[in-house]
Amino acid sequence: MINAGIIGAAGYSGAELIKLLLNHPETEIIKLFGNSSAGSRIEDVHSSLRGMISLEIELFNPDALEDVDLIFAALPSGQSMTVVKEVCSAGIKIIDLGGDFRLSDTSSYSQYYKHEHTAPELLKDAVYGLSEWNEESIASAKLIANPGCYPTSILLALIPLLKNNLINDELISIVSYSGTSGAGKSSSPSMMFTEVNESVRAYKAGNHQHIPEIKQYLEYFGSNVKFSFVPHLLPVSRGIYSTIHAAVKEGTTEKEIAESFNSYYGDKPFIRFLSKAIPEMKDVIHTNFCDIGFKLNEGGSLVLFSTIDNLVKGAAGQAIQNMNIMFGLDQTEGLLNCTKKKLLKIKQ
């Protein structure tokens, strides 16, 4: 049994972690930590958890980690560095759902996240937790940098084609859309219902904090890509939808594109390649799936479509998928259990 603790339990990703871990047969949540919510019980902070779990949220203290095997840190950027350092010093594995350990370059981190990095010595130990592409390194890691939600949807769609040299890397246009939960529990007036309802708007065009992450890992897994990235806010609670425009190499066929995805993802349980069908965001909400489709137009113009749930595959679900890899479990454990039970009932 994996004894798990969650730092940042009162946030959206923290609540999602709790719900998913309660369905995990090999994990027990034994510690919940928070700041402003410390002293409250988790079921009072998230009323949807009533009757499911009852634990008091504590202020984080390294002395409280004695029986913990793994920590999930679900904190805003800039707040994970100190606790990650303390957890690592205690010899406990940790998965950081924030952005503090995704970038290898501290100057890029400071530029895009607007914080100075106070634990640069740990960056060399941080493993990027893109589950489908870094499984071997994840399995032996002590510190996982869980990918951002936008980069997850983008990288999973682009890497197979870049690795097979099927698309030009001169300029790739990425337009993504997110539900409002991607901003966390923000009190900003711009996130109020009356401001986002019945509207769509771009934001942080050219300076979004996920730009250096996308660049670093497109280069790591693929090639030196030039791209533009424009995120948009949707008037929905959750979900990510990315539409990616690229030019294919001369002579590239639909069959080659499909074969690339099938060869890399045929045995990956959470990638649903839809071929020429266009995915819909509603089909991935509350799941750990990434649905990918494509359209090859005349003249070699390729459009990729990729959609995930930002709180599951883009955060808590991928973190649990990484936990499963770290502890030698099936990647689907705790993430497909409900589906498996339904299938067993049908067979009986």
The pLDDT, as a whole number, for residue 337 is 65
Q: Which CATH superfamily is domain 149-308 in?
A: Dihydrodipicolinate Reductase; domain 2 (3.30.360.10)
What residues are labeled active site? 149
Give pLDDT tens digits for 76-98. 989 999 999 999 999 999 999 99
Range list for CATH 3.30.360.10 in the chain: 149-308
Asked if pLDDT for residue 56 goes beyond 60, the answer is yes
> Which tens digit of pLDDT belongs to each residue from 246-258?
999 999 999 999 9
Band of residue 345 on the pLDDT scale cut at 50, 70, 90 = very low
Q: What is the mean pLDDT of residues 38-44?
A: 91
**What's the pLDDT score for residue 348?**
39
Q: Which of 154, 160, 151, 146 is closest to 212 using CA atoms? A: 151
pLDDT at 269: 97
**CATH class as words, domain 2-147+312-337:** alpha beta
pLDDT value at position 187?
59
Average pLDDT across the chain, whole number: 92
Least confident interval from 86-90, 260-264, 336-340? 336-340
Q: Is 92 left (phi over 0), alpha (psi -120 to 50) or beta?
A: beta
The pLDDT assigned to 344 comes to: 43
Question: CB within 8 A of 21, min separation 6: which ones?
Answer: 4, 27, 29, 320, 334
Q: Please report which confidence band the pLDDT of residue 185 belongs to, taking 50, 70 and 90 as the band edges.
A: low
Per-residue model confidence (pLDDT) at position 256: 98
Q: How far apart are CA 39 and CA 205, in angstroms?
A: 39
Could you tell me whether strands 93-96 and 70-73 are parallel, antiparallel, or unpaired per DSSP bridges? parallel
Query: What pLDDT does 20 receive?
Result: 97
- Within a 10 A sphere around the Cβ of 58, how many other Cβ atoms? 17
Q: What is the CA radius of gyration of the chain?
A: 20
For 249, other C-beta atoms within 10 Å of its C-beta total 13
| Tokens standing for residue 164 | 């097979």
Q: Which two tokens stand for residue 252?
A: 């590239």
User: How much of the chain, in percent, has pLDDT values that exceed 70?
Assistant: 95
Domain with CATH 3.40.50.720 in the chain: 2-147+312-337
Q: How confident is the model at residue 169 (pLDDT cuts 50, 70, 90)?
A: confident
Q: 25-29, 140-144, 184-188, 301-305: lowest mean pLDDT where?
A: 184-188
pLDDT tens-digit readout, 274-294: 999 999 999 999 999 999 999
